[in-house]
């Protein structure tokens, strides 16, 4: 007969695992046990002077890694406690410095703009002193009108003595003429406008013609075939026609063409005044007494 197998009565025998689990809580338990063991060993070696040296070395070897880790943690906590309270102060100081830098940049830009404006105004004053008639200084405040795509709007008008057909000049030379006037503003038509014309002379050879605009630049038309004209020549106002004073700079010749059928020459003239950068002008008029 085979041996009878023991009958299980339903009770389950479980083995207890006394190992500390490898978790955060388990690691904390290990640390506490480790420190407690070190303290007991220290107390024991203190009560036995003969073995004090040997035990002390052993305790030092056991506790050195733990003490090193605790020292590092304490140092980090100390640094954080020192830096964190000043974090707000550092951020505030950085914001203050940033505002100061922005303010200095604005001041520098303003000073640079003032310097450029002073240079332009000095050039206008120099031009005004050379003009034979009274002139009113004005600022360009508008462009690109629907009816006159090349026209300029200035901030002086009838109340300042501005009248239609008066010449408009800038530090670089002749700009055009006044077309319409309101109480405190006026519209000026530049030389490049298709409806603009002026008597002009080649300064070097004294050859004369009629300056007409084409919307982008000017052409000096009706020059005789024998006229001594070449690229680079300076063109000035001739004074003919009674609108523009004589001798004001207009521009330089960029190219010359001839028409044998009509026995005339024409030349492309690049204006000396850049309208896209124009900010201040002088409007030439009569003496102030004439407006009273």
pLDDT of 143 reads 81
Q: What are the tens digits of pLDDT across the range 279-292?
A: 889 898 864 443 43
pLDDT of 91 reads 77
> d(Cα 130, Cα 125) in Å, to the nearest integer?
9
Distances (CA, A) of 250 to 62, 206, 219, 262: 98, 14, 11, 26
pLDDT of 276 reads 87
CB 269 within 8 A of CB 252: yes
Residue 34's CB is within 10 A of a number of other CB atoms, namely 14
Q: What are the tens digits of pLDDT across the range 161-214?
A: 999 999 999 988 999 999 999 999 999 999 999 889 999 999 999 999 999 998
pLDDT of 25 reads 61
pLDDT of 260 reads 78
Query: In which residue ranges of the chain is pLDDT below 70?
Result: 1-87, 108-133, 144, 146, 286-292
CB 175 within 8 A of CB 188: yes
């Amino acid at each position: 007969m085979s041996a009878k197998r023991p009958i299980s009565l339903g009770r389950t025998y479980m083995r207890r695992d006394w190992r500390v689990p490898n978790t955060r809580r388990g690691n904390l338990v290990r640390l506490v046990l480790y420190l407690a063991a070190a303290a007991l060993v220290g107390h024991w070696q203190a009560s036995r002077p003969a073995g004090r040296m040997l035990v002390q070395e052993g305790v030092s070897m056991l506790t050195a890694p733990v003490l090193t880790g605790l020292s590092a943690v304490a140092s980090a906590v100390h640094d954080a406690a020192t830096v964190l309270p000043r974090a707000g102060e550092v951020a505030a100081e950085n914001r203050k410095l940033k505002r100061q830098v922005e303010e200095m940049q604005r001041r520098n830009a303003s000073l640079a703009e003032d310097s450029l404006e002073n240079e332009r105004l000095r050039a206008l004053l120099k031009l005004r002193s050379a003009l034979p008639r009274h002139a009113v200084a004005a600022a360009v405040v508008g462009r690109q009108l629907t009816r006159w795509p090349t026209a300029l709007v200035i901030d002086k008008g009838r109340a300042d003595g501005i009248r239609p057909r008066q010449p408009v000049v800038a530090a670089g030379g002749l700009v055009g003429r006044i077309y319409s006037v309101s109480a405190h503003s006026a519209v000026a038509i530049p030389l490049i406008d298709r409806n603009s014309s002026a008597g002009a002379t080649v300064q070097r050879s004294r050859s004369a013609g009629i300056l007409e605009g084409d919307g982008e630049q000017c052409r000096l038309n009706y020059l005789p075939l024998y006229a001594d004209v070449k690229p680079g020549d300076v063109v000035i106002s001739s004074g003919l026609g009674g609108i523009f004073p004589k001798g004001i700079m207009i521009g330089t010749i960029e190219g010359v063409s001839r028409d044998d059928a009509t026995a005339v020459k024409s030349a492309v003239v690049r204006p000396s005044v850049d309208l896209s950068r124009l900010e201040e002008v002088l409007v030439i008029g009569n003496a102030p007494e004439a407006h009273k």
